[in-house]
A and B are shown apart, each in its own frame.
Chain A
Amino acid sequence: MNPMIASFLVLAGLTSASALAMAWTKNLLHAALSMFMCMLGLAGLYVMAYADVMAVAHLLIYVGGVLILILFGIMLTQNPRSQDYEAPNDLWTRQSGRFWSLSISLSIFLGLLWILNRSMDSFSLASDDIQRSSKLTHLGLALLTEYSFAFELAGVFLLIALVGATYIAKHHE
């Protein structure tokens, strides 16, 4: 087994194990912690797919931004039940019955595997050679030339979402 495959298997195991832990646990803070591990493993998988720019952007945005946002959301939506500051951080949440959700998602997973297994030898990609170089220069050039309109639109969209989120979240008397 060569080292690329071995490190891919380690990263994929980290990602899927923490995703399954997210589905298993009922504690909201444990789920946020396993989402952190899942995002770390996913960034490693992006590096394995030779997309180093996306790995760095993913780490910055998800670990640095979205996870902090989720933690603030958890803190702002909890009932301050006890004033006991030495209590453990247990935020138990309720869940529906396991049967329907597990059977639906398991059947979708097995269906996807069946489709992949059937179609793996029949479809063909445009080129078989894999680009192993860093994608930073190409992606920057493409964002500022070919996709410049969509790039500006994404910036305006981010601004609108930011202003809208602060407006929605404020106290309306």
Chain B
Amino acid sequence: MNDIPLSYFLIVSALLFSVGLSIMLLKRNMIFILMGIELMLNAANLNLIAFSRQDDQMQGLAFSVFVLVIGVCEMTIALAIILQIYRQFKHIDLGAEKSRF
């Protein structure tokens, strides 16, 4: 048939997850780190949707809707906290004092 094999989706989502992890470890700006976390959440979502393709109950699809909602909530709260941190410290650079590596 013309369908895409499941392993292609899994490889793309493994790549997205590891790139998100590397962004989280590499960057020092807080907004950058949030973008990395969003990338990792979306990698998990792609896995759920790719597996629920073969499920006639579609449990993975219903779960990915809730993952989307939780991701949006986390994003709003984290941006509000970052705004308050900027007002307090005048920068949002993590580890501005001393770099360990």
Q: Is the CB of A112 within 8 A of B77?
A: no
Tell whether, in the assembled complex, residue B101 and residue A100 are in contact, meaning their CB atoms are under 8 Å apart. Answer: yes
Contact yes or no, B62 A168, CB < 8 A:
no
- For B14, list chain A residues within 8 Å (CB): 109, 112-113, 116
| Interface residue B97 (Cβ < 8 Å from any Cβ of A) | no
A-B contact pairs, 29 of them (CB 8 A): A22-B35, A39-B42, A45-B9, A45-B12, A51-B52, A51-B53, A51-B64, A53-B61, A54-B61, A61-B72, A66-B75, A69-B76, A93-B29, A93-B93, A94-B93, A95-B26, A96-B26, A98-B26, A105-B21, A108-B18, A109-B15, A112-B18, A127-B55, A128-B54, A129-B54, A161-B76, A164-B77, A164-B80, A169-B79
Given A94-B28, A101-B22, A169-B80, do A150 and B64 touch, yes or no (CB 8 Å)?
no
Cβ of A85 within 8 Å of any chain B Cβ, yes or no, is: no
Tally of A-B residue pairs with Cβ under 8 A? 227
Contact with A along B24-63 (1 / 0, CB 8 A): 0111110110111011001001100111111110100110
A77 contacts the other chain (Cβ, under 8 Å)?
A: yes
Known contacts A12-B8, A96-B95; is A23 also within 8 Å of B76 by CB?
A: no
Interface set of B (CB-CB < 8 Å, partner A): 1-4, 6-12, 14-23, 25-29, 31-32, 34-36, 38-39, 42, 45-46, 49-56, 58, 61-62, 64-66, 68-73, 75-77, 79-84, 86-87, 90-93, 95, 99, 101
* Main DSSP-derived SS at the A contact region: helix
Q: Is the CB of B16 within 8 A of A15?
A: yes
Known: A5-B4, A128-B54. A16 touches B15 (CB 8 A): yes
Choose among B71, B80, B86 the residue with the greatest number of A CB atoms under 10 Å from its CB: B80
Given known contacts A20-B19, A93-B28, A49 and B76 CB-to-CB distance under 8 angstroms: no
- The answer to whether A142 touches B31, judged by C-beta atoms less than 8 angstroms apart, is no
B54, A77: Cβ atoms under 8 Å? no
B71 contacts across to A, CB distance below 8 A: 66
| Number of A positions contacting B (CB below 8 A) | 86
Report chain B residues within 8 Å CB of A87: none
Residues of A within 8 A of B49 (CB): 46, 49, 51, 54
Complex Cα distance, B45 from A70, in Å, reads 20
